[in-house]
Every structure is written in structure tokens, then in C-alpha cells.
Amino acid sequence: MEAPALNIEYHSDTHEFTDAMKEKVERRIRKLMRGHKDITGASVAVERHVTPQQHNKEYRVRIVLYFRPDNIAAVSKADTLNAALQDALEAAERQVREHRDKLRERWKRA
């Protein structure tokens, strides 16, 4: 079975967001898509903030899954880019599973 086309938009204000990280995102989203046709695309935004008073870096990752019937958004902040990306992916995956479970329950009751 051929994998459906997947459009992912990437927006990053830091060079630390590598191609390997993009591949990780695509792999995880494709895994979510297996056997389903409810995800049509995604958007990933990475921002790096430096607080002036502490000189600390903080990364914010926002993942939006174009999901039928409602889009899913997950946002995470962390001190490292990998941690923020991992947390955002896990949050998006959890929301997809919860949404699919709700749809299944609705059909069981009908």
C-alpha cells in the first residue's frame, strides 16, 4: 500500500532545527496516519527565546495537525529543542488517540 502524500510546513527561527529532527517529525506523523485518512498535513513551528535577565534559552515548539473534522494543536516549551519537540509530538499523538477514541465511542452508542 502506497503511503499517502503528506505536506508538512516547517517554520524555524533557529538553525538548531535539523533535517534529522524534521525526519523524526515526519516518521511520527506517518505512524499516526497508518490505517487512517483523518490527517491531511501538518505545520511545525520552532521558536527560540532568550530571557535577558537570566540569559537562558527556551525553545517553544508548536505542532498543528490538519485533522478532520477539527485540527489538533500541541505546544511545548523546554530548555532544549529536543525536549520541546518530543513533548509537543507526544501531546499531539495523545490528542489524536483521544479524538479517535471519542469517535469510536459515538459510533458504538448509535
Q: pLDDT, tens digit, for every residue of 48-97?
A: 987 776 677 899 999 999 998 889 999 999 999 999 999 999 999 999 99
3 vs 42, which has greater pLDDT? 42
Q: What is the pLDDT of residue 1?
A: 46
Name the residue range of residue 96's domain: 7-109
Residue 41's domain is classified under what CATH number? 3.30.160.100
Q: Look over the chain and give the mean of its residue pLDDT values, rounded to a whole number.
A: 89
The CA distance from 50 to 16, in Å, is 14
Q: What is the pLDDT of residue 4?
A: 63
The CA distance from 6 to 86, in Å, is 20
Q: What is the pLDDT of residue 2?
A: 53
Q: pLDDT, tens digit, for every residue of 5-37?
A: 789 999 999 999 999 999 999 999 999 999 999
The CA distance from 85 to 90, in Å, is 9
Beta bridge partners of 9: 43
The sign of the torsion formed by the CA atoms of 97, 25, 65, 30 equals negative
| Residue 40 falls inside a structural domain | yes
Number of compact structural domains in the chain: 1
pTM score, whole prediction: 0.86
Name 102's Cβ contacts closer than 8 Å, sequence gap at least 6. none
